[in-house]
Amino acid sequence: MKLGIDIGGTFTDFVLFDNDSNQLYFAKTLTTYPDPTVGIFNGVKEIETKYGFQVKNMSGIVHGTTLVTNAVIERKGAKTAFITTKGFEDVLEIGREMRYDIYDIFLTMPKPLVPRNLRMGVAERVDTHGNILEPINTEALKDLAKTLKDNGIEAVGVCLLNSFANTSHEKALGDFLSENVPDIYYSLSSEIMPEIREYERSSATAMNAYVQPITDKYLKDFETQLRVSGFEGNINIMISSGKLTTIDGARKSPIHLLESGPAGGAMAGVFFGTHLEEENLLCFDMGGTTAKACVIYEGKPEITNHFEAGRVKRFKKGSGLPVRIPVIDLIEIGAGGGSIARVNNIGLLTVGPDSASSTPGPVCYNRGGEDPTVTDADLVLGYLNADYFLGGEMQLSVEAARKAIEIKLANPLGISIEDAAMGIHKIVNENMANAARVHVLEKGMDPRHFNMVGFGGAGPVHAFGVAKLLNVRRLIIPVGAGVTSALGFLVSPVASEKIHSFIDELDSLDWNEVNTFLSDMEEDGYQFLNQSGIHKKDAIVERIVEMRYAGQGHEITIELPEGELGTDSISEIERRFKKEYEFRYNRSIEGMALEMVTWRVVVQGPIPEMNVKQFSTTASDVEAYKGKRKVYFEETGYLDCPVYDRYALKPNEKFDGPAIIEETESTTVIGINSTVQVDKDKNIIIDLHQ
């Protein structure tokens, strides 16, 4: 029996899988502040009373949280100092010197997480090949320890120039810190992100230090409380790459938790894909303020190491702090139920990226919101049921929504309220489809070859429209669409990912050295898995190199051939590189040397099996068909559209679109010219006839 717990901004979601009955159970509680563990234990209690499962009987718990992300966005991390090579203390503040918006002279750049007065330089220098030019003298650092203490520093980030090539100076500093200021947390860049490019590495290291004390305290509390309530199983933490780490792993590298929620969603996509025999899937997740999309290709999520946290201008690439950690490659755009619609200064209707959030919220919430939002449009169009929002917990006002759309949009544009509402719905769909299309194309793939899975509170409302724009044939709205991330936690593998920077041309590599560090990294991985009770023989090893044409600055990822590598591996590596390069850029270059840059070894445990017999436990004799209501579709205007109760749908039930399917956390909107098929597990499968 395993429990997945996902703490989001508003709700904490729970998914329990009982492997005796092979059944899934869901729960949802409000996230509690300032101590989110209160909310967790509220949920644990609810599961106990509602379903009769006790936490002490569970074999494993997998957890993910927005704690780290929020600490960065809200700047609520620890008092952090930063140590670097003397003369380079300002690298963290100077960044890459480039603007993210070329016409906005009022732009601001993100402030560094460590202010200038807490950045300290030490005399030392290593060159780019790892040679020591100036040895570090830890004897001369006594003042440093005092400065840290006097300033009440809680955490220190250490990033020395070229430490990716030689870690010894950083290690010496680490030893010095643990000896002299044992109460202060420290993060070394050579452990956090051993890759070339000093600003990006500094940024990741400073961020790790910045969030470490609060994450550490939180995870300690979380673990202690679970143990007190009698839980004896494994605790794993979801990380951004869609893998699981241990509590210790998470405490050491908390920045890996940055995207744990969205990664859970993507892994749920992988799970449903396997379950429904869809190897290539586009996951589409839409909530209150953002929408996310990611690609699952051949049953695996795409991983990237380009990621930014805490953007100062919403969703604007380049306006955040870079963190080069492996992250499931998700695009995130400012399109959610709360996204605000406006007529801009050139008379065009635009939607987002700013959001009315949950307070004041959309106009129809009647909580003081005045700007029409996507949710208001969806209500006016009849997609949402004013009397059955969140299962009827919240009454929505159609009248208020219509009025706001009329005054703010329809009148200035000289169009009807319905046309304006449809405009909002279409634009937000188009924005999401656009972003998803670019995302897929950037990978050299064609969105038309993908089917789609839609979830999140607003996902099922918009998924059909987005799927249509992307020429997707088949759309899946899975069971548990409101708690997908927590579900994904339960189907993610435990894994260790080791990174090593070793830059050299393919033809002149020292293969002995390569084989040595690769097998060391692999061995580390086995040991890590062992802590979660996973045996070496069950581990899957993936060895990856990031390489490029010598002279380029952007690498592409290639899987290395198995076994011992040597000169006879060159032609195979070359072939794999060329294939991938051509796939992405439609060309390759003859006679150009290849260069290896970063090596990664992922050692992962098996993907937990979850042979779900029944996804939904709410059996019902009631007829799913609830009647008809007026719903507006672009092609037809208002028509009488059949409405179904999701919980009463029978396996293998089949009907034609248009249709509305209602459940507590969401509503599935199905347009005309489509067929709906409920599968044996009650997932909704929609054929779009395109």
- Among 311, 426, 536, 576, interactor with another protein by CB under 8 A: 426
Alpha-carbon dihedral angle through residues 46, 47, 49, 52, given to the nearest 10 degrees: -170
Query: CB of 605: closest distance to another protein in angstroms?
Result: 34
Binding residues for another protein restricted to 196-235, rule: CB under 8 A: 196-200
- Among 37, 38, 51, 115, interactor with another protein by CB under 8 A: 115
Helix/strand/coil (H/E/C) assignment for every residue in 324-358: CCCEECEEEECCCCCEEEEECCCCCEEEEEEECCC
Binding mask 124-163 for another protein (x = CB under 8 A): -x-xx----x---------------------------xx-
**Considering beta carbons, is residue 225 or 552 the nearer one to another protein?**
552
**Considering beta carbons, is residue 98 or 622 the nearer one to another protein?**
98
Angle at 170 between CA 139 and CA 558, to 5 degrees: 170
- Among 33, 49, 117, 277, interactor with another protein by CB under 8 A: 117
Query: CB of 427: closest distance to another protein in angstroms?
Result: 6
Binding mask 540-579 for another protein (x = CB under 8 A): ---------x-xxxx-------------------------
> Which span sits near another protein by CB under 8 A: 263-271, 388-396, 428-436, 480-488?
428-436
Binding residues for another protein restricted to 264-303, rule: CB under 8 A: none
C-alpha span between 109 and 199 (Å, rounded): 14
How many chain residues bind another protein (CB under 8 A)? 75
Query: CB of 115: closest distance to another protein in angstroms?
Result: 6
Helix/strand/coil (H/E/C) assignment for every residue in 428-496: HHHHHHHHHHHHHHHCCCCHHHCEEEEECCCHHHHHHHHHHHCCCCEEEECCCCCCHHHHHHCCCCEEE
**Considering beta carbons, is residue 129 or 537 the nearer one to another protein?**
129
Query: CB of 593: closest distance to another protein in angstroms?
Result: 10
Chain centre distance of CA 157:
24
Query: CB of 604: closest distance to another protein in angstroms?
Result: 28
Query: CB of 376: closest distance to another protein in angstroms?
Result: 16
> Does residue 441 belong to the site contacting another protein (CB under 8 A)?
yes
Kindly list the distances between the CA atom of residue 439 and the CA atoms of 100, 304, 351, 445, 489, in Å, as whole numbers in the listed order: 19, 12, 20, 9, 24
**Considering beta carbons, is residue 350 or 617 the nearer one to another protein?**
350
- Among 30, 94, 123, 407, interactor with another protein by CB under 8 A: 94
> Does residue 606 belong to the site contacting another protein (CB under 8 A)?
no
> What SS3 class is residue 68?
helix
**Smallest Cα–Cα separation from 253: which of 162, 157, 335, 168?**
157
**Smallest Cα–Cα separation from 257: which of 194, 311, 211, 191?**
211
Query: CB of 84: closest distance to another protein in angstroms?
Result: 10
Residue 435 contacts residue 289 (beta carbons within 8 Å):
no
- Among 413, 570, 607, 639, interactor with another protein by CB under 8 A: 413
> Which span sits near another protein by CB under 8 A: 96-104, 211-219, 292-300, 473-481?
96-104
Q: Given its phi and psi angles, is residue 505 left (phi above 0), alpha (psi -120 to 50 degrees) or beta? A: beta
Task: Look up residue 409 and give its DSSP letter.
Answer: I
Binding residues for another protein restricted to 623-682, rule: CB under 8 A: none
Query: CB of 342: closest distance to another protein in angstroms?
Result: 11
Structure tokens at 492: 């993610």
Q: What are phi and psi of 406, to 5 degrees?
A: -65, -50
Query: CB of 116: closest distance to another protein in angstroms?
Result: 4
> Does residue 348 belong to the site contacting another protein (CB under 8 A)?
yes
Structure tokens at 171: 């290690």
**Smallest Cα–Cα separation from 324: which of 201, 230, 232?**
201
Query: CB of 143: closest distance to another protein in angstroms?
Result: 17
> Does residue 504 belong to the site contacting another protein (CB under 8 A)?
no
- Among 46, 430, 523, 653, interactor with another protein by CB under 8 A: 430
- At 546, the amino acid letter reads E
- Among 280, 471, 557, 664, interactor with another protein by CB under 8 A: 471
**675 pairs with which residues across the strands?**
656, 687
Structure tokens at 200: 């990006």
**Cβ atoms within 10 A of the Cβ of 443, count?**
14
Kindly list the distances between the CA atom of residue 204 and the CA atoms of 189, 195, 207, 597, 614, in Å, as whole numbers in the listed order: 8, 11, 5, 19, 42
- Among 349, 356, 602, 661, interactor with another protein by CB under 8 A: 349
Measured over the CA atoms of residue 468, residue 473, residue 479 and residue 481, the dihedral's sign is negative
> Does residue 517 belong to the site contacting another protein (CB under 8 A)?
no
**633 pairs with which residues across the strands?**
637
**Cβ atoms within 10 A of the Cβ of 207, count?**
31
**Considering beta carbons, is residue 314 or 536 the nearer one to another protein?**
314
> Which span sits near another protein by CB under 8 A: 9-17, 265-273, 324-332, 433-441?
433-441
> Which span sits near another protein by CB under 8 A: 56-64, 179-187, 586-594, 678-686?
586-594
Helix/strand/coil (H/E/C) assignment for every residue in 350-370: EEEEEECCCCCCCHHHCCCCC
Query: CB of 297: closest distance to another protein in angstroms?
Result: 19
Q: Which residue has the tokens 């605000």?
A: 340
- Among 52, 139, 152, 346, interactor with another protein by CB under 8 A: 346
Query: CB of 594: closest distance to another protein in angstroms?
Result: 13
Query: CB of 91: closest distance to another protein in angstroms?
Result: 6
**Considering beta carbons, is residue 97 or 609 the nearer one to another protein?**
97
